[in-house]
Amino acid sequence: MYRYDDYDRAMVADRVAEFRGQVERRISGELTEDEFKPLRLMNGLYLQLHAYMLRVAVPYGTLNPDQLRVLASVARDYDRGYAHVSTRQNFQFNWPKLKDVPDILDRLADAEMHAIQTSGNCIRNTTTDPFAGAALGEVEDPRITCEVIRQWSTFHPEFTFLPRKFKIAVSATEEDRAALAVHDIGLQIVRSDGGEVGYRVLVGGGQGRTPHLGVWIRDFLPQAELLSYLEAILRVYNIRGRRDNLYKARIKILVDAMGSEAFAEAVEEAFVAFRKVGSGGSVDLPQAERQRISTFFKPPALPAVGETSRNNVPSNARFALWLKHNTHPHREDGYSSATISLKAPGQAPGDVMAEQLDAVAAIAEKYAFSDVRTTHEQNMALPHLRTDELFAVWEALDAVGLGEPNHGLISDIIACPGLDYCNLANTRSIPIANRIQERFADLERQATIGELKIKISGCINACGHHHVGHIGILGVDKKGEEFYQITLGGSADENASIGEIVGRGLSTDDVVDAIERMVARYLERRLSDKERFVDVYQRLGAEPFKEVLYGEAVAA
Amino acid sequence: MSQTAIQQAAVTPAQKISTGGVKKGRNTGTKVITANDLFSGAVIYWTSERTWTEDMAKALVVSGDDAMAQLTVAISDEGRSVGPYLMDIDEDGSPAGRGKLRERIRDAGPTIHPEFARQRKEA
Amino acid sequence: MAKLLQLETGAVVDVAPEADLALTEDQDLMASPIELEGVRTIALHFPKFKDGRAFSQALILRQHFGFSGELRAVGNVIPDQALYLRRVGFDVVEIEDTARVGAFQDALKCYRYAYQQSVSGVAVPQLRSAEQ
C-alpha cells in the first residue's frame, strides 16, 4: 500500500495543527459556530443528534493492521468501543468529544490517516473495488489512480469550494464493484486496441432526491492526461454548476441541463485549453511521480501453492455457506479473496467493535499479507488469502462474530444511520434492517433466495443507496410517523439501474411482511435458482410484486 | 390558549421557526428550547436559570413571544451550546408534534443501543 | 476602513484605488472572453466564501488570458482561504474586518507544501522529481 513520505506527513501534520487552533478558537469564543462549522466539516466533524461524529478517510478502502489497531484504540479511548464502515469506504466514530478530536487526529496521523475532505463541498474520498490488486481480469491496480487522485484533490486550490460535494470512483475490471454509474465521475481503467492503458470516463451519476445514472463522455483517455481531464470537468462544473439550490447543485443536474454532448464538448474545450498552457500550468503528473506511486502497489509476493483443494476442509455447514457466498476468485491459482460481513443478525450494518478490529488486524498479519479493505457495501474484505487456509481464516473470524456467511444475501443490507443518529433523517433505518435480518435469520433460507440486495435510506438524501437496491426502502415521515416506500429493480453494478417506486408507503410493522411476500412471489416465478430476484424483476416487471405488496388476495 | 389568542393566530400566522435539523415549523403551542452541548455534543435543554440541563424534565416551558425572547438569549450563549431551537411539547412535558420521534430519540439515545440511554439521577 | 493584504508577503496596505475592472462571480470566462487592454487591476468577487467561482476565474485569467496585472479578491473571504487565493494567482485580498488581518497572516503560514502545480509555488510532485 502507499506509504507517506515527508511531504505527505507534513501535509497532514499541518492540517491537524491548523484544526487544533480552530478548536481552541471556538472554545475560547474567538470563532462563532457559524464560522467554525464549515471548518470542522472540512475535517469530517459533524454534529449529529446525540454527539459529534468524526468521519475518518480510508483512501480507496485500503488499510494495514497497524491502522486497524489505531482505529480500535480510538474507538476504545475516545468513543464507545465501536466504529462504523460507511458507504464511502470510510470509518465513522459516533461519540467523540470536541476537545479530543485534535488528539484523535494526531493519533491517526501517526498511522498515516486523516479526516481531510470527508465532508464539505469538495472532492471526497475516491472509492474503488475492494478486491483491487487481487481481482481476476484487472487491467491494472486501480489504487494507483486513486492515490494519484487523492494527492491531486487534497487541498485543491480551485476545487475546495465547489457547488456541492464531489465523488469519484475507479474500477479496473469488466465487473463493476465500485458503483461507477452513481458517481459524479466514474473512471473505468481500460486497454485501447493498441494495448495502451487509459480511462473510459463517466460523469453525472448520483443518488439523492433526483437519481441519475452517469453518462460516458470519453471512450479513451490516455493515462498521462488524467489530471488535466479531471480538472477540465471540475472547472466546467465549478463555473457552471448551480449554486442557488442545494438540491440542484450536483454535477448530475448540470450534465442533464446542458445535455451530455454539450457538456462533453465544454470539457474538451477546457481540456484543450489546459494542454496549451504546457509546462508550469499543466497539472499532469510527471511520469516519474506516477512511477513512484505505482511501486507502492506492487502485489504482495504470493508463494506458489499450486493445485490446492477447496474440498480439503472439514464439513461445516456454516463454513460451506461462507465459502460459497463470501469468497471470490483471485487472479492467482491457489488464492482467494473474501468478504468479512459486518451484517451479523442484530448488528447495525457496518458497525464493528474495537476487539473485532484488533482480531482482523491479527488475522490479516497471519493469513492475509497484512492487506485489509473496507467495502462500499459496509463490509470489510481480505483480498489475498491462500485458498487452503480459508477454513482457518473463517474460524478465526467466526470466533469474534465476523464469520456470518451472508455476503450478497438478503441480510447483507446497506442502511444509513437514520434517525437513530442523523440530524437530517426522517425515519430510522437500522431497526428495519434488523427486523429483516431477524425474519430471514435462517441461513439455508437466505441461500435458497440467493443474491438479493436490500438498501435502506432514512431520508431522500439516499445515503443508504435505496435507489440502487434490488429492493430499496426509503423512509418517509407522515405527520411524525415513520413510513417506508419500496423501490424495485435498482442495481449499482455494470448493469446499473435506478429502482422503480412501487406504491404508497408501508408502516414499520408492514414493511417486513411485504418483503417476505415479494420474496415468496420471486421464488414462485423464478425459472431456476440461477435467476436472481433482480433478474425476475427485469423479465416480468414490477406487476407481480405489486400484486403482493399490500397483502391483497393473490390472483391465481 | 384564550379565545382572543386563537383569533389572533387565525389572522396572523405564527412566526416561521427552525425545528431542528433541516425542518421548519411555526411558533404555536408550548415549547422547550433545546440544543447540543458544545463540548460533548450531548442533547441539552434551556432552564429558567438561563443555563442548560441534560434533563428534559427541568426544561423551561415557553410559548409565543416569550419563546422567541428566550431563544434569542439561548442562542447568544454560544460558549456552551450549538444550534438552539424550539421543540414542541405537550401538556405533560413530553415531545409532541411532527418532531416527536426525533425528540424522543434525542432525549433517550439511539433506539438500537438501549445501553447508551442517558443515566439520570432520580429526582 | 478595509485593508489590503498582500498574499505573497503578508504585508498590509490601505485600500488602493478602485480596481480597473470588477468582475462578478457569474461571469463565465470560458464562454465569453473579455477585453483586457490597458487593465492593470481586476477585482474578483466572492458573494459568500463558499462560492468558489472566483478561484476558477483567477486561474483562467492567469493561465489562458495571460493576465499579469494585479488580481484582487473582494467580498466574503475567510482567512482559511488565503493560501488557496495565493495559489490560484491572486495578489491581494481586501479585508473588511481589519480585526481579522492577523488570522489571514497566520493562515498564510499554515501549510508548507501543496500537491498541485499552480501559478504560485512549486508542487510536491515536482519537488519529489527534483530529488530523484
- Reported as type and span, the H/E element at residue A253 is helix A251-258
Q: Percentages helix, strand, coil for chain C, rounded to the nearest 5?
A: 30, 20, 50
Burial letters A461-485, b for 16+ CB under 10 A, else e: bbbbbbbbbbbbbbbbbeebebbbb
**DSSP letter string, A114-160:** B-TTSSSSSB---EE-TTTTTBTT-SS-HHHHHHHHHHHHTT-SSSS
Percentage above 90 pLDDT, chain B: 63
Interchain contact A29–C (C-beta under 8 A) = no
Q: Which chain A residues are within 8 Å of C88, Cβ to Cβ?
A: 157-158
A423–B101 CB contact, under 8 Å: no
pLDDT band at A555 (very low <50, low <70, confident <90, very high): very low
Q: Which chain A residues are within 8 Å of C99, Cβ to Cβ?
A: none
Label residue A409 left, alpha or beta by phi (over 0 means left) and psi (-120 to 50 means alpha).
beta
The average pLDDT across A367-391 equals: 97
pLDDT at C3 over 60: yes
What is the tens place of the pLDDT at every residue in B78-103? 899 999 999 999 988 899 988 999 99
CB contact at 8 A, C52 and A162: yes
For A259-265, which contacts have Cβ atoms below 8 Å and span 24 or more sequence positions? Answer: A260/A203, A260/A204, A260/A215, A260/A217, A263/A203, A263/A204, A263/A217, A263/A236, A264/A217, A264/A218
ipTM: 0.97
pLDDT band at A503 (very low <50, low <70, confident <90, very high): confident
DSSP A331: S
Where do we find the cell 468582475?
A: C23
Q: How many Cα neighbours within 13 Å face the side chain of A245?
A: 5
pLDDT band at A80 (very low <50, low <70, confident <90, very high): very high
A152–C115 CB contact, under 8 Å: yes
What span, in angstroms and rounded, lies between the C-alpha atoms of A376 and A207? 14
What span, in angstroms and rounded, lies between the C-alpha atoms of C20 and A191? 51
Quote the pLDDT of residue A554. 43
pLDDT band at A307 (very low <50, low <70, confident <90, very high): low
CB contact at 8 A, C115 and A154: yes
Task: Return the amino acid letter for A483.
Answer: F
Task: Return the amino acid letter for C71.
Answer: L
Cell of A436: 429483516
B101–A29 CB contact, under 8 Å: no
What is the tens place of the pLDDT at every residue in A218-249? 999 999 999 999 999 999 999 999 999 999 99
What span, in angstroms and rounded, lies between the C-alpha atoms of A257 and A261? 11
What span, in angstroms and rounded, lies between the C-alpha atoms of C58 and C78? 17
Label residue A204 left, alpha or beta by phi (over 0 means left) and psi (-120 to 50 means alpha).
left
User: Please, which residues bridge with residue B6 across strands?
Assistant: none
What is the tens place of the pLDDT at every residue in A293-305? 999 999 999 998 8
CB-nearest partner of A270 from C30, C51, C128:
C30
pLDDT band at B11 (very low <50, low <70, confident <90, very high): low
What span, in angstroms and rounded, lies between the C-alpha atoms of C100 and C122? 28
Q: Taking CA atoms, what residue in C is nearest to A272?
A: C64
Number of A/C CB contacts below 8 angstroms equals 110
Quote the pLDDT of residue A315. 85
DSSP B91: T
Distance from CA of C97 to the nearest CA of A (A): 14
Q: Which chain A residues are within 8 Å of B41, Cβ to Cβ?
A: 47-48, 50-52, 95, 97-98
What span, in angstroms and rounded, lies between the C-alpha atoms of C92 and C10? 9
- Per DSSP bridges, beta strands C21-23 and C41-46 are parallel
Where do we find the cell 432526491?
A: A209
What span, in angstroms and rounded, lies between the C-alpha atoms of A404 and A467? 26
What span, in angstroms and rounded, lies between the C-alpha atoms of C55 and C88? 6
Q: Taking CA atoms, what residue in C is nearest to A270?
A: C30
Task: Return the amino acid letter for B25.
Answer: G
Label residue A536 exposed, middle or buried (CB < 10 Å: 0-12, 13-18, 19+): buried
What span, in angstroms and rounded, lies between the C-alpha atoms of A237 and C1? 36
A283–C116 CB contact, under 8 Å: yes
What span, in angstroms and rounded, lies between the C-alpha atoms of A379 and A84? 10
What span, in angstroms and rounded, lies between the C-alpha atoms of A148 and A297? 12
Label residue A76 left, alpha or beta by phi (over 0 means left) and psi (-120 to 50 means alpha).
alpha
B100–A480 CB contact, under 8 Å: yes
Percentage above 70 pLDDT, chain A: 97
Q: Which of A344-348, A507-511, A549-553, C56-60 has the lowest mean pLDDT?
A: A549-553
Query: Phi and psi for A322 in degrees, rounded to 5?
Result: -65, -45
Average pLDDT along chain A:
95
DSSP C62: I
pLDDT at B77 over 50: yes
Number of A/B CB contacts below 8 angstroms equals 71
A46, A48, A49, A54, best to mutate vs chain B, most B CBs in 10 Å = A49
Interchain contact A166–C (C-beta under 8 A) = no
CB contact at 8 A, C30 and C60: yes
Q: Which chain C residues are within 8 Å of A38, Cβ to Cβ?
A: 49-50, 78
Q: Give CA separation, A230 vs A126, A187, A274, C89, in Å.
A: 13, 10, 11, 20
pLDDT at A384 over 70: yes
The average pLDDT across A531-550 equals: 97
Average pLDDT along chain C:
93
The average pLDDT across A80-107 equals: 97
Label residue C39 exposed, middle or buried (CB < 10 Å: 0-12, 13-18, 19+): middle
pLDDT band at A436 (very low <50, low <70, confident <90, very high): very high
Cell of A251: 454535477
Helical packing angle, A142-153 and A226-240, nearest 10°: 50
CB contact at 8 A, A255 and A204: yes
Alpha helices in C53-98 (DSSP H): 53-59, 82-87
Quote the pLDDT of residue B12. 64
Label residue A280 left, alpha or beta by phi (over 0 means left) and psi (-120 to 50 means alpha).
left
Where do we find the cell 473463517?
A: A394
Nearest to A144 by CA among A219, A204, A224: A224
Quote the pLDDT of residue C55. 97
Cell of A244: 442557488
Quote the pLDDT of residue C122. 86
User: Please, which residues bridge with residue A198 across strands?
Assistant: A190, A222
Q: Which of A177-191, A399-413, C31-45 has the lowest mean pLDDT?
A: C31-45
CB contact at 8 A, A55 and A91: yes
CB-nearest partner of C113 from A11, A158, A280:
A11
Percentage above 90 pLDDT, chain A: 91
Where do we find the cell 424483476?
A: A537
pLDDT band at A281 (very low <50, low <70, confident <90, very high): low
| Cα separation of the two ends of chain B | 30
The average pLDDT across A14-24 equals: 96
Instruction: Sheet containing A335-340: give its strands across.
Output: A62-63, A372-374, A380-386, A335-340, A327-329
Sign, CA torsion A296/A301/A302/A304: positive
Q: How many Cα neighbours within 13 Å face the side chain of A493?
A: 11
Strands (E), A453-547: 454-457, 471-478, 481-488, 500-501, 506-507
Output the furthest CA–CA distance in chain B (Å, rounded). 48
A159–C114 CB contact, under 8 Å: no
pLDDT at C1 over 90: no
CB contact at 8 A, A338 and A393: yes
Quote the pLDDT of residue B15. 86
